[in-house]
């Protein structure tokens, strides 16, 4: 894998990966056939098995290609924040922004490609307990642990279990927002041109999430409905 990854031209490989991102996003893993995929990518049917070994291995390669840099940039942003803060606890909103920016950037910049992946990623969180989920969890684990520690330091008064749930909520909001931007029409009334404006979306998300994250604890609100 690493040997071949160093080679000069991966034209076929990358073309397969790019098309796979789009088709998996549109039709799911099981709903996308190798025949459709390879014909859209203008490569031979056998190319996927030759270059990746199997369909499942293609899926894994697809996630690694995007997730590794994305998590790296998340960690980098957090470490930059901590270096700047010089020992002081961070503002929760700053941590949130550091976390959501890489995803938003991927959604915005890549001419389709990044956006496809981001939406595919959101879909996959809620998918079967298949090995894919395990892979994603494993790729995410170090990043999540670092952000959890940072938030614990930023919100020392919050019980850890409450914090974990709120991180879960945040993660849900983010992944759903990125995955189901079409579904805004469920509610209707959203300007389509704002849909992929990453900066505007970051402002909206940061406001919503930091308010939710720093809300008074559930226990102190009331006991019964």
Partner DNA sequence: CTACTATTCAAACGTTCGTTTGAGTCGATC
Partner DNA sequence: GATCGACTCAAACGAACGTTTGAATAGTAG
Residues near DNA (CB under 7 A) are: 4, 7, 11-12, 30, 32-36, 43-51, 54-56
Which one, 56 or 93, has the nearer CB to DNA? 56
Residue-level length of the chain: 225
Q: What is the DSSP letter of 185?
A: G
Residue 84 in contact with a second copy, rule: CB under 8 A:
no
Contact of 204 with 190, CB cutoff 8 Å: no
Cα dihedral 98→77→176→116 (10° resolution): 140
Q: What is the DSSP letter of 89?
A: P
Selection from a second copy, DNA, none that 47 binds (CB < 5 to 8 A by kind) is: DNA
The residue among 193, 100, 84 whose CA lies nearest residue 143 is 100
- Map residue 88 onto helix, strand or coil: coil
Range 91-114 burial, b when 16+ CB lie within 10 A, else e: ebbbbbbbbbbbbbbbbbebeebb
Residue 202 in contact with a second copy, rule: CB under 8 A:
yes
CB of 145 to DNA, least distance (A): 33
CB of 182 to DNA, least distance (A): 23
Residue 205 in contact with a second copy, rule: CB under 8 A:
yes
Residue 206 in contact with a second copy, rule: CB under 8 A:
yes
The residue among 123, 115, 139 whose CA lies nearest residue 63 is 139
- Near a second copy in 14-33, by CB under 8 A: 26-28, 30-31
Stretch that binds a second copy, among 35-43, 54-62, 83-91, 210-218 (CB under 8 A): 210-218
- Near a second copy in 148-187, by CB under 8 A: 148, 160-162, 164-169, 171-177, 179-180, 182-187
CB of 148 to a second copy, least distance (A): 6
Residue 126 in contact with a second copy, rule: CB under 8 A:
yes
Which one, 43 or 209, has the nearer CB to a second copy? 209
Distance between CA atoms of residues 167 and 177, nearest Å? 15
CB of 124 to DNA, least distance (A): 16
Residue 142 in contact with a second copy, rule: CB under 8 A:
no
């Amino acid at each position: 894998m690493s040997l071949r990854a160093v080679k000069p031209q991966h034209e076929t490989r990358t073309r397969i990966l790019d098309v796979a991102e789009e088709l998996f996003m549109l039709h799911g893993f099981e709903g996308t056939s190798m025949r459709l995929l390879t014909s859209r990518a203008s490569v031979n049917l056998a190319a996927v098995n030759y270059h990746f070994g199997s369909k499942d291995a293609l899926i894994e390669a697809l996630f690694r290609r995007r997730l590794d840099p994305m998590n790296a940039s998340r960690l980098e942003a957090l470490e930059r924040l901590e270096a700047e803060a010089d020992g002081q606890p961070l503002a929760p909103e700053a941590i949130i922004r550091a976390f959501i920016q890489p995803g938003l950037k991927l959604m915005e910049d890549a001419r389709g490609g990044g956006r496809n992946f981001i939406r595919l990623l959101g879909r996959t969180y809620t998918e079967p307990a298949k090995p894919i989920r395990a892979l994603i969890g494993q790729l995410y684990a170090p990043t999540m642990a670092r952000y959890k520690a940072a938030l614990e330091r930023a919100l020392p008064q919050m019980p850890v279990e409450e914090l974990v749930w709120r991180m879960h909520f945040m993660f849900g909001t983010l992944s759903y927002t990125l995955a189901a931007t079409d579904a805004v029409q469920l509610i209707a009334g959203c300007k389509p041109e704002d849909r992929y404006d990453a900066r505007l979306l970051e402002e909206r998300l940061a406001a919503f999430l930091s308010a939710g994250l720093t809300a008074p604890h559930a226990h102190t609100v009331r006991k019964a409905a």
